[in-house]
A and B are shown apart, each in its own frame.
Chain A
């Protein structure tokens, strides 16, 4: 990790000196050992703060959305999942490739700062605590799919066993059981919209949930409005979700949001032929939900 940090610093410094970029997105160390936070370096001096360690869980491709209207050329560090986010942004024409310098890092799996925090808190301290981030357990693409430089050694996919196992378990329940399950999970939602903010696929300029005229979805944090919110948000993510798991990680009330997203990934995969969002970037290629084909199934609506 330290080696990768140094390599990233060297690359960033060089890019700033050659005036190839205006900004470099990476991480810096925060107060505690287990806190890394997104960091935007704007000069060669600031590069010294950059760090890449096992707590660099954040998906930085989301931060690019803030600069989509600007002209800055941006260097960015991506892990496997983040690079899929970049492919999605390029496919949606939210960003142009020539403004980006992508440093890809083969990701050995990240640790969850929240778990580390609990472990450090003094109440739950265990010596060999499993701090692995939940989102990394279902990872199918730890290696970046789009990059200018690749650092680290290629990693095998971390996902063990059958894909969509949890989704299939829920599908096997009766409708009433499923409703009870989701009602129970989603009733705790406090509608903080952290899942939306953390999501790279959520790139609408005006969000349906912010509109008040007309107000499409009730804003109260009650069970039925919460369920409507999550149904709508999940269906908007159809064919866009890159499985970075950030929504689930940032959720303050631990709603298993990836259960919804994975269901839709599974559906898109079965309705529109083998497809995973953002696994490959080809100039001009369109994901299934951005184009019309005559043999599209009727049932997807």
Chain B
């Protein structure tokens, strides 16, 4: 899925997946922080959004 989205032109880093157990609170925090940082760096998404 990730590789297909990137293949179709979505920037690497915009779509991320991670396996996090319900007991892994710190991991969740780390992953979310990284995700927010990555996406903020990429800026707003304009792809797949135009209803032409």
How many residues on B have C-beta within 8 angstroms of the other chain's C-beta atoms?
A: 20
Task: Check B3–A299 contact: CB distance below 8 A.
Answer: yes
A178, A220, A264, A301: the one contacting B9 at CB < 8 Å is A178
Task: Check B4–A263 contact: CB distance below 8 A.
Answer: yes
Task: Check B9–A175 contact: CB distance below 8 A.
Answer: yes
Question: Closest CB of chain A to B34's CB: distance in Å?
Answer: 15
Task: Check B9–A176 contact: CB distance below 8 A.
Answer: yes
28 A-B interface contacts by CB (under 8 A): A170-B7, A171-B7, A175-B9, A175-B11, A175-B12, A176-B9, A178-B7, A178-B9, A179-B9, A179-B10, A182-B8, A183-B9, A222-B50, A222-B51, A223-B50, A223-B51, A225-B51, A228-B48, A231-B5, A263-B3, A263-B4, A264-B4, A267-B3, A267-B4, A298-B17, A300-B1, A300-B3, A301-B1
Asked if A234 is at the interface of the complex by the 8 Å CB criterion, the answer is yes
A222 to B49, CA, bound (A): 10
> With A175-B10, A181-B9, A301-B17 known to touch, is A227 a contact of B48 (CB < 8 Å)?
yes
B6, B9, B10: the one contacting A180 at CB < 8 Å is B9
Asked if B27 is at the interface of the complex by the 8 Å CB criterion, the answer is no
Which of A177, A223, A234, A301 has the largest number of chain B CB atoms within 10 A? A301
Asked if A260 is at the interface of the complex by the 8 Å CB criterion, the answer is yes
A225 to B48, CA, bound (A): 8
Residues of A within 8 A of B (CB): 170-171, 175-183, 187, 220, 222-225, 227-228, 231, 234-235, 260, 263-264, 267, 298-301
Residue of B nearest to A173 (CB): B9
Since A175-B10, A224-B48, A267-B4 are in contact, a sample of 16 more A-B pairs with Cβ atoms closer than 8 Å, ordered by chain A residue number, is A171-B7, A175-B9, A176-B9, A179-B47, A182-B8, A182-B9, A183-B9, A187-B52, A223-B50, A224-B49, A224-B50, A224-B52, A225-B51, A227-B8, A235-B1, A301-B2
Tell me whether chain B's interface is mostly helix, strand or loop, or mixed: loop
A183 to B8, CA, bound (A): 9
Residue of B nearest to A220 (CB): B51
Closest 7 CB pairs of A and B: A179-B9, A178-B9, A301-B17, A182-B8, A224-B48, A222-B51, A223-B52
Question: Closest CB of chain B to A47's CB: distance in Å?
Answer: 45
Task: Check A175–B51 contact: CB distance below 8 A.
Answer: no
A170 to B50, CA, bound (A): 23
- Could you say which residues of chain B place their CB within 8 Å of the CB of A234? 4
Question: Closest CB of chain B to A218's CB: distance in Å?
Answer: 8
A178, A225, A300: the one contacting B8 at CB < 8 Å is A178
- Could you say which residues of chain B place their CB within 8 Å of the CB of A225? 51
B4, B11, B19: the one contacting A231 at CB < 8 Å is B4
